[in-house]
């Protein structure tokens, strides 16, 4: 049950299928696995019925619910805590898919003009009021053109619309192009008599059933004509399931007086994950590798045009392991978890590494990795085994891991190394080396980088627009980010600290050990330092403090290779919880370090005083103009 401000909500609507990361609470206390134990007292037990097939405990207070398809008059399920029926929640189950794709339905077949167009289409230009805009299918979750993508049917419902975009940078249609969703322009055009239509068209790859589709109204706030305005517009909610896997085409059209002005086709492949869990046994890594190889041989080469993905979770035994775990070539997406992962604890220690030979987006989690020491490059040079924790062709995106003593902790040669979450990197030569140009998980958040020679090295990547980074803490690293690429990289909303004057003896305490099990300090999903003396930068008027070491302590340390552009990192977090920020003012010799001012934000006179603002051309990596603000000075240069 959830509280909506006036009372507890006891009914919900959900699609049939499996729903993850559900939280049950009694008062403020989350329920855990004990609530579904067979021997649980009746007044402390979760029971369920109707269309609810199964409850499963994921760990850390999160559950899964498996809902059956509604049949006839049976459309609901229920969950109850204890014996009091007032503690019952009713769930109305909606069908997980729409109607069947019939023989008379228009289908874009492989090889057709429409299919080829949709395979490369992103946006199409049109003119309105003397300006060039672009028609495309917008996805609400990203506010970007929805094109050439892939999405799992297990993901939540998303919303789509035929809408308008402005080109912000790059070349139209290229992977480097960036766009801004313009619902303000769509609203103005509709008042001017234009109509926008979006149709979902099946292809001959899968597409047996339509997804569940509904019309919804969505609100978005944009600048408009210089004022902040909220626009309400029509979108399509679409929820895909295993019955609607396939390559679907989004047909976006623009009309004026029933005459077509422009059309854009784009596609997306919706695939289904088939889950498998394997509990590995024994402490001998060679035997574990043989067991992994035998298990992964069970999965055939992908069929059905890659619409069904095998997802395998390998659970390592508790205790200490030593050696190199190898994930062989396989079409499966592999997750390697340490033992006791369901409780959010680290019960497995690996003195060695994990090599992914499968070129997929894989994951590792709940493991304490220990290397040979940060100055040791090779574990076994003759056999080409480097002192790296997670490496190889495939990505091994970490979650809830501890890495210490590696020459490079995370180093994929083909997929991203960027996707670390909820993990700690301490005393490594390089924590993360981003050196792959293929896609994968590219969100880096809620990590701690402490006492590393270099926290992150940037060599190559997919478009940096996909590399998100926030709520990370960079503490006393010699270099926080070294950019060796040609890209301008932003590390906004992260916390940086360096004890330049040696006066602060702060050593973050990030975990505790209980009976050989490590528990990272976690408060509501945020990793935190429990030492109670974490520094914070709370000055409000700091624009003249550029040489004050107490100010410099909280600025990032960046390095570049050759002509690589310097990274950006504004705004900076004031405290370790990354909830409040400040905008540093570098001096005139700061090259590409601009003071950062958010578009549309109001700045107080005190904050503006002595601030220097740069106009920066991100595409060409040059500063195009400068504004200096003094107590009574506003001087424009260039």
Q: Tell me the C-alpha distance between 528 and 386, whole Å.
A: 31
Backbone angles phi, psi at 600, to 5 degrees: 85, 0
Element (H, E) at 185: helix 183-191
DSSP 210: E
351, 379 contact by CB (below 8 A): no
Give the pLDDT of residue 546: 56
In contact, 444 and 417? CB cutoff 8 Å: no
**pLDDT the model gives residue 590:** 46
Beta partners for 247? 269
Cβ atoms of residues 99 and 113 within 8 Å: no
CATH classification of 2-95, choosing from 1.10.3470, 3.30.750, 2.60.40, 3.30.200? 2.60.40
DSSP assignment of 428-457 equals: -SEEEEEE--S-S--EEES-EEES-SEEEE
Residue ranges in the chain whose pLDDT is less than 50: 1, 3-5, 587-599, 618, 621, 631-638
Closest CA to 140 of 263, 233, 17, 20: 233
Residues 6+ away with beta carbon under 8 Å from 269: 149, 150, 151, 205, 246, 247, 306, 307
Q: Return the pLDDT at 610.
A: 56
Q: What share of the chain is helix, strand, coil (3-state, %, to 5)?
A: 10, 50, 45
Q: Where are the domains of the chain?
A: 2-95, 99-271, 280-584, 594-638
CA distance 584 to 569: 10
| Predicted pLDDT at 638 | 29
pLDDT, tens only, 281-337 = 999 999 999 999 999 988 765 555 778 888 899 999 999 999 999 999 988 889 999
What's the confidence (pLDDT) of residue 595?
43
Residue 250: count other Cβ atoms within 10 Å of its Cβ: 27
What are 488-503's pLDDT values in tens digits? 777 888 999 998 777 7
* Environment class of 453 (CB within 10 Å of its CB; exposed 0-12, middle 13-18, buried 19+): middle
CA 64 to chain centre: 20
* Rg (alpha carbons) of the chain, rounded to whole number: 27
| Cβ pair 328, 43 in contact under 8 A | no
In the numeric block, the tokens 């069947």 are attached to 100
SS3 of 262-301: EEEEEEEEEEEEEEEEEECCCCCHHHHHHHHHHHHCCCCC
d(CA 50, CA 482): 56
76-81 sheet: strands from edge to edge: 11-15, 88-94, 76-81, 46-50
Q: Provide the total of helices (H) and of strands (E) in the chain, helices listed first.
A: 5, 54
Instruction: Write out the two tokens for 528.
Output: 């935190």
Which pLDDT value is given to residue 631?
40
Q: Are strands 430-435 and 448-450 parallel, antiparallel or unpaired?
A: unpaired
Return d(Cα 75, Cα 90) in angstroms, integer: 10
Containing 183, the helix (H) or strand (E) segment is: helix 183-191
The confidence score (pLDDT) of residue 201 equals 97
């Amino acid at each position: 049950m959830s509280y909506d401000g006036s009372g507890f909500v006891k009914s919900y609507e959900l699609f049939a299928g499996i729903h993850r990361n559900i939280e049950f609470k009694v008062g403020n206390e989350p329920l855990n696995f004990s609530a579904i134990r067979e021997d649980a007292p009746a007044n402390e037990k979760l029971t369920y019925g109707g269309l609810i097939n199964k409850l499963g405990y994921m760990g850390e207070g999160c559950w899964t619910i498996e809902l059956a398809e509604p049949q006839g008059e049976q459309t609901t399920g229920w969950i109850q805590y204890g014996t009091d029926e007032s503690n019952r929640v009713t769930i109305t189950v909606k069908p997980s898919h729409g109607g069947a794709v019939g023989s008379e339905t228009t289908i874009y077949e492989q090889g057709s003009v429409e299919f080829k167009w949709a395979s490369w289409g992103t946006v199409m230009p049109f003119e309105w009021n003397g300006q060039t805009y672009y028609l495309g299918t917008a996805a609400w979750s990203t506010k970007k053109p929805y094109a050439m993508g892939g999405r799992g049917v297990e993901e939540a419902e998303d919303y789509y619309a035929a809408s308008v975009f402005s080109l912000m940078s790059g070349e139209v249609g290229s992977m480097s192009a960036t766009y801004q969703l313009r619902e303000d322009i769509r609203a103005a055009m509709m008042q001017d008599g234009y109509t926008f239509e979006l149709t979902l068209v099946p292809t001959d790859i899968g597409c047996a059933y339509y997804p569940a589709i509904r019309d919804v109204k969505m609100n978005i706030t944009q600048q408009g004509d210089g004022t902040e305005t909220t626009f309400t517009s029509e979108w399509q909610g679409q929820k895909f399931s295993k019955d609607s896997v396939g390559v679907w085409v989004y047909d976006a059209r623009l009309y004026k007086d029933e005459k077509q002005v422009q059309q854009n086709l784009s596609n997306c492949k919706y695939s289904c994950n088939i889950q498998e869990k394997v509990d590995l046994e024994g402490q001998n890594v060679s035997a574990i590798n043989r067991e992994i190889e035998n298990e992964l041989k069970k999965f055939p080469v992908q069929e059905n045009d890659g619409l069904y993905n095998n997802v395998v979770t390998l659970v390592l035994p508790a205790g200490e392991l030593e050696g190199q775990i190898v994930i062989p070539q396989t079409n499966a997406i592999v997750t390697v978890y340490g033992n006791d992962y369901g409780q959010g604890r680290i019960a497995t220690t690996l003195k060695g590494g994990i090599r992914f030979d499968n070129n997929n987006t894989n994951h590792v989690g709940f493991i304490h990795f220990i290397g040979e020491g940060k100055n040791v490059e090779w574990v076994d040079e003759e056999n080409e085994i480097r002192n790296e924790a997670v490496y190889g062709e495939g990505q091994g995106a970490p979650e809830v891991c501890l890495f210490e003593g590696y020459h490079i902790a995370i180093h994929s040669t083909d997929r991203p190394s960027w996707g670390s979450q909820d993990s700690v990197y301490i005393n490594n030569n390089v924590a993360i080396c981003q050196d792959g140009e293929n896609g994968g998980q590219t969100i880096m958040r809620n990590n701690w980088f402490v006492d590393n020679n270099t926290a992150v090295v940037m060599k190559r990547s997919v478009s940096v627009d996909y590399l998100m980074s926030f709520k990370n803490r960079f503490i006393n690293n010699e270099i926080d980010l070294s950019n060796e690429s040609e890209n301008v990289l932003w590390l906004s909303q992260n916390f940086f600290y360096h004890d330049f004057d040696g006066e602060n003896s702060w050593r973050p305490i990030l975990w505790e050990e209980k009976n050989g099990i490590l528990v990272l300090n976690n408060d509501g999903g945020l990793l935190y330092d429990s030492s109670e003396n974490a520094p914070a930068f709370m000055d409000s008027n700091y624009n003249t403090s550029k040489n004050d070491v107490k100010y410099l302590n909280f600025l990032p340390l960046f390095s570049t290779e050759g002509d690589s552009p310097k990274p950006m990192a504004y705004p900076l977090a004031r405290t370790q919880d990354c909830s409040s920020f400040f905008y540093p003012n570098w001096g005139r010799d700061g090259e590409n370090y601009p003071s950062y001012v958010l578009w549309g934000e109001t700045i107080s006179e005190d904050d503006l005083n002595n601030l220097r603002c740069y106009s920066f051309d991100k595409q060409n990596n040059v500063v195009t103009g400068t504004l200096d603000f003094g107590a009574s000075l506003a001087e424009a240069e260039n």
